[in-house]
């Protein structure tokens, strides 16, 4: 049974049959999957200004044409990912598009980049949220890292409670942030139109500024494009939507892109006209809000909602990372544990992995957003470029009706994304060099994982030349997961140590359980099979209840009860992480049961 603390933090376990209730409508999906993209306006304009200020405050006017270029890229990417949603409604986004149209390694490169990028999403969002808190309360500056780690843990707990509940919690701060940004932008533009509150002189548009080069402008554009991170999340998470999934996901994407575009352009305009320049302990957004409202209630309201959405923007990573890990695990490039659903029907192993990775990044980079942004941008523009290229290849191969307009959008998106990627590599190599170590390492690990599973399959598959030892003798309850060589060997041993053998199987799906029983009865009609359906996807609980019943019967009939657990042993120790360790959990629980003999049948793998 779940511990009281776990029940309080995570909530009651949900039945597998309740999975349909965990789907999202458009408004909740916007809160969960768009918070990363929407929140990036809090630092997108600032990243442009940080590059331009190196030349001087007079160069600030260049932020306006750069913002227009970012807007064009946003338009192209939105069209492209809308096409991906309809073309690949089962989710997977850039990973699936790249794998199916370019090749396996391209898909793995896109998938690996996104896995790291989602960790960076959490680290950047939480660090930015912490910056907003510190801007309002400067005395917290020395506690930046511990505060960021605490916030990651809070968001992790929210997500472990399930996608619907996390969406309900997220919806309020997300829409409060949207409201505050709309009020701030409209109020600021009205005041500017009326000639009020302009406290800084700003260089006119078109002013020649010495030191501004094409490389500098491209670097500023690449930095500002960080505002577009998170756009791909909806295409990765289409399965989370209510039916019709593709249509609802597409509309959510368009709504998100429209709001993002309005916010980005509005904040860039206000930053220019108010002459805002980046400062160490005050964000650009904070300065804009202070210029417009002063340090009154609404200023602190904006800071509070900004901090909230920046922290909760991490939820985009928490929603998309587990689904991407599921797709990679399904293709056997990641451990099988990422296929398992937790008590609240979410992929909790993916959620926990993401949390640990993001906390590590926060510690390594000391919670400094500006240090994380370059890697963050590279991590998302690699899959951007690959997914656009994949869609170009798809349209050229299939040539459906009206494909030329779709092809044009993908060509534009691929060209700009690739340009941004090259600029990042050229101008920020000192900050993004870890990519050249990390990505080959991830590809190697993916392939080693896949190779292990490929070598494992023939060793477990039943054939006519099974290298299983013959036993003679006794009686047991044998726990079985499938008809494999491991189970076959254990069954022979079970028959050798007693007069009665009962096989027990726990199924998480009624239809699969029925099919397993039919298959078992065809192969082993002489051995009774008991199939236990687990409502809450727990293997151990129904099994323990069955063993309790069997133990009572054994005591009545005055015979001993032995539980035999088949287990295969990988050749190399590190390979254990690639397999579920359910047998260890079952054995541990059984050791505390009185009058039950626990035995393990080990089957050693050759590779």
Q: Cis omega (within 30 of 0) on the bond before 244?
A: yes
C-alpha distances in Å from residue 531, one per residue of 514, 518, 547: 8, 11, 13
- What percent of the chain stands above pLDDT 90? 5
User: Over 80: is that where the pLDDT of 167 sits?
Assistant: no
Q: Give the pLDDT confidence score for residue 507 in this predicted structure.
A: 86
> How many C-beta atoms lie closer than 10 Å to residue 459's C-beta?
17
User: Over 50: is that where the pLDDT of 498 sits?
Assistant: yes
Q: Give the pLDDT confidence score for residue 293 in this predicted structure.
A: 84
User: Over 50: is that where the pLDDT of 470 sits?
Assistant: no
Closest CA to 44 of 61, 64, 60, 67: 67
Q: Does the predicted TM-score (pTM) go above 0.85? A: no
Strand partners, 452: none
User: What domains lie within the chain, and their CATH numbers?
Assistant: 24-454 (1.20.1740.10), 473-604 (3.40.50.620)
Q: How far apart are CA 152 and CA 119, in angstroms?
A: 11
Q: Give the pLDDT confidence score for residue 221 in this predicted structure.
A: 86
Q: What pLDDT, in 10s, does the model give residues 90-120?
A: 766 788 888 889 989 999 998 888 888 888 8
Q: 139: pLDDT confidence band, cut at 50, 70 and 90? A: confident
Q: Give the pLDDT confidence score for residue 186 in this predicted structure.
A: 92
Strand partners, 257: none
Closest CA to 517 of 490, 482, 484: 482
Angle between helices 369-398 and 63-87 (to 10 degrees): 50
Q: How far apart are CA 161 and CA 579, in angstroms?
A: 25
Pairing of strands 561-569, 528-533: unpaired
Q: How far apart are CA 500 and CA 479, in angstroms?
A: 14
Q: What pLDDT, in 10s, does the model give residues 273-282?
A: 888 887 766 7
Q: Give the pLDDT confidence score for residue 109 in this predicted structure.
A: 92
Q: Give the pLDDT confidence score for residue 456 in this predicted structure.
A: 78
User: Over 50: is that where the pLDDT of 1 sits?
Assistant: no
Q: How far apart are CA 17 and CA 593, in angstroms?
A: 31
Q: What pLDDT, in 10s, does the model give residues 191-216?
A: 888 877 655 566 677 777 788 888 88
Closest CA to 411 of 79, 25, 10: 79
The answer to whether the beta carbons of residues 597 and 494 sit under 8 Å apart is no
Average of per-residue pLDDT across 399-427: 85
User: Over 60: is that where the pLDDT of 7 sits?
Assistant: no
Q: 19: pLDDT confidence band, cut at 50, 70 and 90? A: very low
Q: 172: pLDDT confidence band, cut at 50, 70 and 90? A: confident
Q: How far apart are CA 197 and CA 298, in angstroms?
A: 16
* Nearest 10 degrees: Cα torsion 237, 238, 242, 248: 120
Q: What pLDDT, in 10s, does the model give residues 571-605?
A: 787 776 776 667 777 888 878 777 778 888 888 87
Q: 468: pLDDT confidence band, cut at 50, 70 and 90? A: very low
The answer to whether the beta carbons of residues 44 and 29 sit under 8 Å apart is no
User: Over 60: is that where the pLDDT of 422 sits?
Assistant: yes
Q: How far apart are CA 135 and CA 405, in angstroms?
A: 46
Least-confidence region, from 124-138, 334-348, 374-388, 539-553: 334-348
């Amino acid at each position: 049974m779940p511990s009281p603390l776990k029940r309080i933090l995570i909530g009651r376990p949900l039945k597998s049959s309740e999975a349909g209730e965990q789907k999202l409508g458009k408004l909740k999906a916007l809160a969960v999957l768009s918070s990363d993209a929407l929140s990036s306006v809090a630092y997108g304009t600032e990243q442009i200004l940080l590059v331009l200020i190196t030349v001087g405050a007079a160069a600030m006017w260049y932020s306006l044409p750069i913002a227009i270029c970012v807007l064009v890229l946003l338009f192209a990417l939105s069209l492209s990912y809308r096409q991906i949603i309809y073309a690949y409604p089962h989710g997977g986004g850039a990973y699936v598009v790249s794998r199916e149209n370019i090749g396996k390694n391209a898909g793995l490169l896109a998938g690996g980049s996104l896995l790291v990028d989602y960790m960076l999403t959490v680290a950047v969002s939480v660090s930015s949220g912490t910056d907003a808190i510190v801007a309002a309360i400067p005395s917290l500056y020395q506690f930046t890292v511990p505060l960021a780690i605490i916030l990651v843990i809070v968001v992790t707990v929210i997500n472990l409670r399930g996608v619907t509940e996390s969406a309900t919690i997220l919806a309020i701060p997300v829409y409060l942030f949207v409201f505050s940004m709309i009020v701030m932008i409209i109020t600021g533009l009205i005041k500017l139109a009326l000639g009020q509150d302009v406290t800084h002189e700003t260089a006119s548009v078109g002013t020649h500024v010495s030191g501004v080069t094409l490389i500098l402008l491209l670097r500023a554009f690449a930095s500002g494009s960080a505002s577009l991170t998170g756009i791909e999340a909806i295409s990765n998470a289409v399965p989370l939507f209510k039916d019709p999934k593709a249509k609802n996901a597409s509309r959510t994407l368009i709504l998100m892109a429209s709001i993002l575009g309005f916010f980005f352009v509005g904040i860039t305009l206000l930053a220019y006209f108010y002459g805002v320049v980046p400062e160490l302990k005050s964000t650009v957004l904070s300065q804009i809000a202070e210029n417009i409202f002063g340090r009154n209630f609404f200023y602190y309201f904006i800071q509070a909602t900004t901090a909230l959405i920046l922290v909760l923007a991490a939820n985009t990573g928490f929603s998309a990372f587990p689904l991407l890990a599921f797709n990679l695990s399904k293709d056997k490039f990641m451990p099988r544990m990422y296929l398992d659903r937790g008590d609240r029907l979410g992929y909790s192993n993916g959620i926990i992995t993401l949390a640990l990775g993001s906390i590590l990044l926060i510690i390594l980079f000391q919670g400094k957003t500006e240090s994380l942004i370059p890697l963050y941008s590279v991590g998302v523009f690699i899959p951007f470029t690959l997914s656009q290229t994949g869609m170009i290849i798809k349209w050229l191969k299939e040539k459906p009706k009206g494909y030329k307009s779709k092809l044009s959008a993908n060509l534009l998106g691929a060209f700009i994304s690739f340009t941004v990627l090259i600029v990042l590599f050229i101008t920020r190599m000192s900050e993004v060099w870890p990519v050249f170590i990390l990505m080959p390492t991830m590809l190697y690990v993916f392939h080693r994982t896949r190779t292990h599973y490929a070598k494992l399959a023939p060793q477990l598959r039943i054939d006519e030349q099974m290298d299983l030892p013959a036993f003679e003798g006794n009686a047991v309850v044998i726990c079985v997961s499938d008809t494999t060589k491991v189970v076959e060997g254990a069954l022979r041993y079970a028959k050798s140590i007693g007069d009665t053998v009962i096989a027990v199987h726990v199924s998480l799906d009624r239809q699969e359980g029925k099919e397993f029983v039919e298959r078992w009865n065809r192969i082993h009609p002489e051995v009774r099979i008991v199939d236990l359906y687990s409502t809450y996807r727990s293997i151990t609980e129904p099994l323990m209840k069955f063993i309790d019943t069997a133990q009572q019967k054994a005591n009545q009939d005055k015979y001993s009860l032995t539980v035999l657990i088949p287990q295969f042993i990988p050749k190399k120790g590190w390979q254990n992480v690639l397999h579920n360790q359910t047998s260890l959990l079952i054995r541990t629980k059984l050791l505390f049961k009185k009058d039950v003999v626990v035995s393990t049948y080990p089957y050693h793998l050759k590779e």
